[in-house]
């Protein structure tokens, strides 16, 4: 309890000191020097394209990644349609989110990020639809991988 009271006191002091810095013009005096160098600061949006908070999205990405560790061996050991669809969905979602982060980090400008994200969404949707079509009309994803290994 004493620790929580002490921490609350520290955060109050920090917020007070940061407001004093902002009022004194200290922070404002540093901003023009950044702008004068031509450096552009890029920040991640608070909400991602799916409308989730960034921390929730990060946790969901981790759940899908950990889920892949179980889905991949299960689908290969016990091939059935349910695991084939779970494998297709989790792989496409994992790859989509990974490429989305690469594009967020490296594609900048007024219109290019919008175009790249739309094309990624279209590509991911087509890949998922193709894998579902393959699962429904052919041997399934896991059996196809096993057949490739056997060849």
Residue 5 pLDDT class (50, 70, 90 cuts): very low
What average pLDDT does range 81-93 have in this prediction? 97
DSSP H stretches of helix in the chain: 2-24, 26-36, 54-77, 81-106, 112-137, 141-150
pLDDT at 8 over 50: no
- Residue listed under structure tokens 């004493």: 2
Residue 2 pLDDT class (50, 70, 90 cuts): very low
What percent of the chain lies above the pLDDT cut of 70? Answer: 66
Structure token pair of residue 146: 């096993």
Nearest-angstrom CA–CA distance, 148 and 139: 12
Read off the pLDDT of residues 94-122 as tens digits, 9 standing for 90 and up: 999 999 999 999 999 999 999 999 999 99
Any idea what DSSP says for residue 108? Answer: -
pLDDT given at position 55: 84
Chain mean pLDDT for the chain: 80
Nearest to 84 by CA among 6, 36, 4, 145: 145
What average pLDDT does range 5-27 have in this prediction? 45
Nearest-angstrom CA–CA distance, 146 and 88: 15
Read off the pLDDT of residues 19-44 as tens digits, 9 standing for 90 and up: 444 455 554 555 555 555 566 655 55
């Amino acid at each position: 309890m004493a620790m929580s009271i002490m921490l609350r006191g520290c955060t109050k002091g920090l917020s007070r000191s940061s407001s004093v810095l902002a009022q004194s013009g200290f922070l404002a005096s540093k901003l023009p020097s950044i702008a004068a160098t031509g450096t552009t600061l890029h920040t991640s949006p608070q909400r991602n394209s799916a409308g989730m908070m960034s921390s929730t999205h990060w946790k969901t990405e981790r759940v899908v990644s950990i889920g892949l560790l179980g889905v991949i061996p299960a689908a290969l050991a016990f091939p059935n349609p349910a695991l084939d669809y779970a494998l297709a969905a989790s792989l496409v979602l994992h790859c989509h989110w990974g490429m989305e982060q690469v594009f967020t980090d490296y594609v900048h400008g007024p219109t290019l990020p919008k175009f790249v994200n739309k094309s990624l969404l279209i590509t991911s949707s087509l890949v998922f639809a193709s894998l579902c079509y393959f699962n429904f009309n052919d041997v399934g994803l896991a059996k196809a991988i096993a057949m490739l290994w056997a060849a």
